[in-house]
């Protein structure tokens, strides 16, 4: 099939590269000239394992190309995925202006041949109806088109694997033609395909992300009770997870969730629910608990070092999670801001995210590796659970630290081992 994917962010670029790999002819559109220039040279503008190679493969085999004009790309293709940003507005609602603009441009390029417009970006429920209205208004008379919702569930860091091996493919469509196109598109992807109406599909995405965020805040709340009672949150999570109705995943306590999906989608889902007349109080508590974890983590640090002024703090991990260079809504941002205002000197290391972190914190010290970050530090903070931090030589780490104090926001080390090594160790929800 001839496909255009409008937007070359995480979701759009992965979708484009994967569909090209599955044999479709794909045009990926982005109006950011810097990103586009890189992509045209076959270079990915963010770090995602395997994506760079897939882009080059698609380009060299002639199935993947990049361009700047959504209307022009839409004119040449029968299927148009909209994967542009839906950033948060000040009131928490999703800013749909980019989606609306793309819908207009696509509408003007629909002719007699049926065109299917598919929303891939995460959107509030009823956005599909809005897209349909916009297209109807701007398309030429007699234009044939359909609108569908096909939310994406991939995670950063494992995006290609998730796209190619999804737990489920959700398709919200209201015409047989639209459903047929989507079924054909996903023919070679191994995963159950579920068909719903447009609104249900849109809610499935918001509800899934909110539920996962709720699981994280739930275990973080449990971790607080564990700390107060002398229990161990890892054992509690393991015991809970053995119940197949609960499951073991997404029960890691720590400094909470970040990234460009959970925080923004939660806020948008709370907002749209409110607009529709429902006060989603559970989700408000999920946001509150998530935020409280950062304050709680800093309290742990300040209970060990009363006055941080002039102290050196080593930081392992800046990205919102491992295997990505994404710093958006990373818990590290608020923590570093607090440390800076307390007058601490910061030595940080992250295997991938330091380039992006420099744009936010140009003045802190960036180190060549984890041991370098720990050098002469009064304490070491673990903020992202990269594998290489789990596999460190702890004796060497102890030797380079000025004081052997590790405050672990991701529970990557074993308290007993740290005790044996003579490293003072503070973690989340366990002693």
Q: Nearest CA to 426 among 380, 377, 363, 369?
A: 380
Judge contact between 209 and 260, C-beta under 8 A: no
Which of the following is catalytic: 226, 261, 367, 379? 261
Which of 65/384 has CB closer to ligand UGA? Answer: 384
254 binds ligand UGA (CB under 6 A): yes
Segment near ligand UGA (CB under 6 A); pick from 168-176, 226-234, 245-253, 368-376: 245-253
Q: Restricting to residues 308-347, which ones interact with ligand UGA according to CB under 6 A?
A: 320-321
Cβ neighbourhood burial of 142 (10 Å; 0-12, 13-18, 19+): exposed
**Residue count, binding to ligand UGA (CB under 6 A):** 22
Least CB distance from residue 250 to ligand UGA, whole Å? 4
Residue with Cβ nearer ligand UGA (185 or 294) = 294
For 422, the 3-state DSSP assignment is coil
CA gap 91, 100 in Å, rounded: 19
Q: How far is the CB of 158 from ligand UGA (least distance, A)?
A: 8
Instruction: Give the residue with the Cβ less far from ligand UGA, 170 or 423.
Output: 170
Residue 124 vs 404, nearer CB to ligand UGA: 124
Taking the C-alpha atoms of residue 408 and residue 418, their distance in angstroms, rounded to an integer, is: 11
Show Cβ contacts of residue 169 under 8 Å, excluding neighbours closer than 6 positions: 150, 186, 189, 191, 192, 193, 194
**H-helix segments, 279-407:** 281-304, 331-341, 354-360, 370-374, 387-390, 394-400
Residues in the chain: 431
Binding to ligand UGA by residue 267, rule CB under 6 A? Answer: no
- Interface with ligand UGA includes 7 (CB under 6 A)? no
The nearer residue to ligand UGA, 154 or 294, going by C-beta atoms, is: 154
Choose one: 126-134, 222-230, 259-267, 335-343; the region binding ligand UGA (CB under 6 A). Answer: 259-267
Stretch of residues binding ligand UGA (CB under 6 A), selected from 37-45, 98-106, 244-252, 269-277 = 244-252
What is the per-residue binding string for ligand UGA in 116-135, x denoting contact by CB under 6 A? ------x-------------
Query: Which residues, in sequence order, are CB contacts of 125 under 8 Å at separation 6+?
Result: 199, 202, 203, 206, 272, 276
Question: Quick one: which of 22, 193, 207, 212 contacts ligand UGA (CB under 6 A)?
Answer: 212
User: Which 171-210 positions form the footprint of ligand UGA (CB under 6 A)?
Assistant: 209
CA distance 312 to 142: 68
DSSP code, position 87:
P
Of 135-174, which residues contact ligand UGA (CB under 6 A)? 152-156
Report whether 242 contacts 417 (CB < 8 A).
no
Residues whose CB is less than 8 angstroms from the CB of residue 399 and which lie 6 or more positions away in sequence, other chains included: none
226 in active site:
no
Contacting ligand UGA (CB under 6 A), which of 81, 145, 218, 262?
262
Cβ closest to ligand UGA, residue 77 vs residue 122:
122
Q: For residue 105, how many other CB atoms are within 10 A of its CB?
A: 19
Q: Report the SS3 class of residue 279.
A: coil
Of 4 and 209, which has the nearer Cβ to ligand UGA?
Answer: 209
CA–CA dist 31, 24 (Å, integer): 22
Q: Does 46 bind ligand UGA (CB under 6 A)?
A: no
**Active site residues per annotation:** 261
| Interface ranges with ligand UGA (CB under 6 A) | 122, 152-156, 209, 212, 216, 250-252, 254, 256-259, 261-262, 265, 320-321
């Amino acid at each position: 099939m001839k496909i255009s994917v409008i937007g070359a962010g995480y979701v759009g670029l992965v979708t484009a590269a994967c569909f090209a790999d599955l044999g479709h002819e794909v045009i990926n559109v982005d109006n950011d000239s810097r990103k586009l220039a890189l992509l045209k040279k076959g270079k990915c503008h963010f770090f995602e394992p395997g994506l760079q190679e897939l882009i080059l493969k698609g380009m060299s085999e002639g199935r993947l190309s990049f361009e700047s004009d959504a209307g022009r790309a839409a004119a040449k293709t029968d299927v148009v995925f909209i994967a542009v940003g839906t950033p948060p507005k000040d009131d928490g609602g999703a800013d749909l202006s980019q989606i609306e603009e793309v819908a207009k441009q696509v509408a003007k390029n629909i002719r007699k041949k049926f065109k299917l417009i598919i929303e891939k970006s995460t959107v509030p429920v009823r956005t599909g109806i809005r897209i349909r209205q916009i297209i109807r208004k701007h398309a030429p008379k007699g234009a044939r088109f359909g609108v569908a919702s096909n939310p994406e569930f991939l995670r950063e860091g494992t995006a290609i694997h998730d796209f190619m091996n999804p737990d489920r493919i959700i398709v919200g469509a209201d015409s047989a033609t639209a459903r047929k196109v989507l079924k054909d598109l996903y023919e070679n992807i191994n995963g159950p395909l579920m068909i719903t109406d447009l609104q249900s599909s849109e809610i499935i995405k918001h509800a899934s992300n909110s539920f996962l965020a709720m699981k994280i805040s739930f275990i973080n709340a449990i971790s607080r009770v564990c700390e107060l009672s002398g229990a161990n949150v890892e054992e509690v999570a393991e015991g809970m997870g053995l119940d197949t109705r609960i499951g073991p995943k997404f029960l890691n306590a720590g400094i909470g969730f970040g990234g460009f999906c959970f925080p923004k989608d939660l806020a948008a889902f709370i907002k749209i629910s409110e607009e529709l007349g429902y006060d989603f109080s559970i989700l408000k508590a999920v946001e509150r608990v998530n935020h409280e974890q950062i304050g709680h983590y800093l309290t742990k640090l300040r209970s060990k070092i009363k006055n941080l002024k002039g102290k050196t703090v080593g930081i392992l991990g800046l990205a919102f999670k491992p295997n990505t260079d994404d710093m958006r809504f990373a818990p590290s941002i608020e923590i570093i801001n607090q440390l800076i205002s307390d007058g601490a000197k910061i030595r940080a290391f992250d295997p991938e995210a330091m380039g992006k972190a420099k744009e936010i914190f140009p003045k802190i010290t960036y180190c060549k590796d984890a041991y370098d970050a720990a050098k002469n530090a009064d304490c070491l903070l673990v903020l992202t659970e990269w594998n290489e931090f789990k596999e460190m030589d702890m004796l060497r780490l102890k030797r380079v630290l000025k004081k052997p104090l590790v405050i672990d926001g991701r529970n990557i080390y074993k308290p007993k081992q740290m005790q044996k090594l003579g490293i003072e160790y503070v973690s989340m929800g366990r002693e």
